[in-house]
A and B are shown apart, each in its own frame.
Chain A
Amino acid sequence: MESINGRSNGGRPTGGGPGEGPSEGPSGSPGGRRAFSRRWVLGAGATTLLTTGLTACGSDGDSGGGGDTLTAFVYGDDAAKIQQTAVDRFNRSGAAKSAKGRVKLERIPGAEYPAKLRTAMGSPSAPDIFFNWGGGSIRDYQEAKQVVDLTDTIGNDPALKSAFLPAVLAAGGLGGRNYGIPMRGMQPVILFYNKSVFAEHKLRPPTTWDQLQDVNAKLKKAGITPFALGGADTWTELMWLEYLVDRIGGPEVFAKIQEGDASGWGDPAVLKAAETVKELIDDGAFGSKFSSVAYTNGGAPAVFAKGKAAMHLMGSWEYSTQLGKFPSFAKNNLGWCAFPTVEGGAGDIRNVVGNPTNYWSVNTRAGNKDAAIAFLKDCASRTYARALVANGDIPATSNAAELLDSSPNPEFAKFQYGMVEKAPAFTLSWDQAVGSDVATPMLTEINKLFVGKSSPSEFVSALKELK
């Protein structure tokens, strides 16, 4: 956003250009006439140019990264404090001394992280180490040969290789090669429900779609919106399609699309999922105002916590969000379960969608790769995993199970860990799995489906057009 003029009318008083002011009145001479035409052309031109001076230059990455200091870009939310501790620990450690390197952490404010990383990576002041979502989120960097291939590093280090859950480690790579080291908690998408609302209306968490519709009917009768949905953030709507497509057609449907086969959108499961979404909306399952509600500003979580809505399909971070905003709700009334199966569908109820975790990757231009890799290895340490657990996260490490008793909420932690560990398939969030050139129009089409701007069949044909 740095590239945009602060005000739309920014060019205002300067617009007059040369010859402003009363000193040049109308004149009869050719010279004066010329001054006039020049004035109005330049004046109008200058105004326009100044105000339309929006161009594609947005980077102010000041990382530098030269010498022995490595710059690491991290998504700057609350959890970044764990990475900061790890950086401090690394800089004091023997590993840092023997590799002759130090790490400097730069916290990039959340929502604009991908764009900021992109502009930085295209500039001379790119980070040496960077946070990412694995899969499609690093594809462009991999194609531009900007990410270090860590396959051999991991293969040659049994301790590193055995430290992480294999499925999660694999999700940080592309085409069977490893490019990332897991560095945050796992983030499966979970169906949360409000226990007190369910108890009051004698409901049980649904395990099949029929049960879910039954629950919805009873809730609506009681004047409660079945599901909270922060539809102003399209990724919250995406989660519904991710699970529905999985439950109806199995994980293979999206796996095909993820590999770049756009015809995969033509699978009947996608259409069926879109029709199911439309039924839910027409049925009022999300209430009438969901497209004005956002997740990021706390709207949807508040609707859910206050009992206006009974359930909320959200990533596992919903727990810590609620713990921060509505602690007593999070501790006493927050329930969780798997997304129900759809009758006749191919997907296993144990299949999971979401973000396996986040990863550190190393820039090929990093000055001191040994130091960078030494820093990455710290993520496999027990100390690091403990710090994640203490923050309420579930590390993607193989030893996580034994650490979970020290979690602020062991019950939720174990549910989450078991969910991911037992999952026959873990589908990466679609917007992270495909390239950004496809993800953006895909999210737009999903939003159009949810706000009723396109029908399920229009939705499918629009998606098939994406390259």
Chain B
Amino acid sequence: MSAPSPTRTPPGDRAGEHAEPAGSGGPHRPRSRPRPRAAAGRPHAAWALPGVLFFTFFAVVPMGLAFYLSFTSWDGLGDPEPVGLDNWRKLLDDDRLVQSLWLTVLLTAASWVFQTVIALLLGVWAAGRQRNRAVLSAIFFVPFLLSSTAIALLFYALLDPNFGIIQENTLGSSGGAFLAIVFVGGWQFIPFHTLLYQGGARQIPEVLYQAAAIDGAGRYRQFFSITLPQLRHTITTSTVLMVVGSLTYFETVLILTKGGPGTDTAILPYLMYEAGFKSYDFGYASAIASFLVLAATGLSLILVRLTGFGGMRSTREGM
């Protein structure tokens, strides 16, 4: 994944990008002055070195290696043998991949709905000035501080059919296992997204609400006409993180269901793990990994583009 060159931005979007901000920007915004100032004020490029090196060695290089391995056959012993496109062909033919892809999409959609609705409401609430708000917000944040593995083990014990709290065949039934994964993921990550929404909602100027109140808008009208539109960049950020997070969701599946019952919760990252660390087919596992990288990158680019987030239009136009 070499850094795309700036010229790759389609021209159509460029016009859109700066036409509006230029209009609203105006001379009273000294910060938006172009390049010369930025170049002078920026720290030396060497400051980026630690970060760049870290990223190179722990993300770019392994990813490059995985991409290379996807064109080889390797069982973890000896040297990888080049096999051309065999793994990628297998990827296209694999029935399990189709199921896996579908499950991943389903998990992403279900997680998005579950997490966004709750996080948005909680976040907006937490942005207010009620009594005990700070204490409750801190408590809500706790799940995010726990490790995924600990959370999954905890819920695994709670869902035990003989000794747990919910003594049903939850993890042994397709629907139950899937919902359990969505729920546990939500339980863990809602606090983080709540925090995003809380921050976003805090930024909304009070005057908007005051003006709306004068115009006679009630609580719900204010929420839908002011809060939601003002939070649209936050929603995009949160959505991108959720989508990419769901695409790489793994530990919970491994611990709760091991992809089962049968293959009914074997989402892409689990399929990759199984191919690599159970079947020792590292070539095929790398093909799945590369596919995941491409899919996740593509999806987030599309999301950012569709939502106009790339343009960074201000939510305060006309204020």
Instruction: Give 1 or 0 for each of A1-34: 1 = CB within 8 Å of chain B CB.
Output: 1001111110110010010001111111101111
Instruction: Point out the residues of chain B lying under 8 angstroms from A27, CB to CB.
Output: 18, 21-22, 25, 32-34
Instruction: Point out the residues of chain A lying under 8 angstroms from B134, CB to CB.
Output: none
Chain A residue nearest to B261 in the complex (CB): A451
**Which of B85-93, B154-162, B205-213, B218-226 lies at the binding interface?**
B154-162
CB of A292 within 8 A of CB of B172, answer yes
Instruction: Give the contacts of B112-165 with A (CB-CB under 8 A).
Output: 147-148, 156-157, 159-163
> How many B residues touch the partner, as a band?
35 or more
Instruction: Point out the residues of chain B lying under 8 angstroms from A55, CB to CB.
Output: 62-63, 65-66, 286, 289
Using A49-B63, A448-B262 as known contacts, say yes or no to A302 and B162 having CB atoms under 8 A apart. Answer: yes
The distance in angstroms between the C-alpha atoms of A42 and B301, with both chains bound, is 10
CB of A308 within 8 A of CB of B248, answer no
Using A45-B1, A52-B292 as known contacts, say yes or no to A308 and B162 having CB atoms under 8 A apart. Answer: yes
Instruction: Point out the residues of chain B lying under 8 angstroms from A57, CB to CB.
Output: 62, 65
The distance in angstroms between the C-alpha atoms of A144 and B280, with both chains bound, is 14
Chain B residue nearest to A126 in the complex (CB): B77
Q: Is the interface of B mostly helix, strand, loop or mixed?
A: helix
Instruction: Give 1 or 0 for each of A256-281: 1 = CB within 8 Å of chain B CB.
Output: 00000000000000000000000000
CB of A8 within 8 A of CB of B148, answer yes
Instruction: Point out the residues of chain B lying under 8 angstroms from A53, CB to CB.
Output: 58-59, 62-63
CB of A52 within 8 A of CB of B279, answer no
Min C-beta distance of A374 to chain B, whole Å: 26
**Which of A60-68, A172-180, A204-212, A283-291 lies at the binding interface?**
A283-291
- The one of A34, A231, A441 in contact with B6, judged by C-beta atoms closer than 8 angstroms, is A34
CB of B241 within 8 A of CB of A32, answer no
**Which of A70-78, A83-91, A114-122, A194-202 lies at the binding interface?**
A114-122
Instruction: Point out the residues of chain A lying under 8 angstroms from B33, CB to CB.
Output: 27
Q: Does any Cβ of A come within 8 Å of B310's Cβ?
A: yes
The distance in angstroms between the C-alpha atoms of A12 and B196, with both chains bound, is 11
Q: Does any Cβ of A come within 8 Å of B40's Cβ?
A: no
Instruction: Point out the residues of chain A lying under 8 angstroms from B81, CB to CB.
Output: none
Chain B residue nearest to A26 in the complex (CB): B21
CB of B278 within 8 A of CB of A50, answer no
Min C-beta distance of B83 to chain A, whole Å: 15
Using A34-B6, A45-B297, A436-B280 as known contacts, say yes or no to A289 and B161 having CB atoms under 8 A apart. Answer: yes
Q: Does any Cβ of B come within 8 Å of A381's Cβ?
A: no
Instruction: Point out the residues of chain B lying under 8 angstroms from A12, CB to CB.
Output: 192, 241
- The one of A26, A58, A292 in contact with B22, judged by C-beta atoms closer than 8 angstroms, is A26
Using A26-B314, A54-B269 as known contacts, say yes or no to A11 and B244 having CB atoms under 8 A apart. Answer: yes
CB of B77 within 8 A of CB of A293, answer no
Instruction: Give the contacts of B13-44 with A (CB-CB under 8 A).
Output: 13-14, 17-18, 20-22, 24-25, 29, 31-35, 38, 41
CB of B262 within 8 A of CB of A447, answer yes
Q: Does any Cβ of A come within 8 Å of B97's Cβ?
A: no
CB of A289 within 8 A of CB of B168, answer yes
Q: Does any Cβ of B come within 8 Å of A44's Cβ?
A: yes
CB of A118 within 8 A of CB of B76, answer yes
Instruction: Give the contacts of B158-203 with A (CB-CB under 8 A).
Output: 159-163, 167-173, 185, 189, 192
Residue of B4, B6, B29, B311 contacting most chain A CB atoms (<10 Å): B6
Q: Does any Cβ of B come within 8 Å of A422's Cβ?
A: no
Assuming A49-B55, A291-B260, what are 9 further A-B pairs, CB within 8 angstroms?
A15-B240, A26-B22, A26-B314, A33-B14, A47-B300, A50-B59, A52-B297, A122-B78, A141-B77
User: 22 A-B residue contacts at CB 8 Å?
Assistant: A1-B254, A4-B251, A8-B185, A9-B241, A11-B241, A15-B240, A23-B41, A25-B31, A26-B22, A40-B304, A44-B303, A44-B304, A54-B269, A54-B292, A55-B66, A57-B62, A118-B280, A291-B261, A292-B169, A293-B161, A297-B160, A436-B280
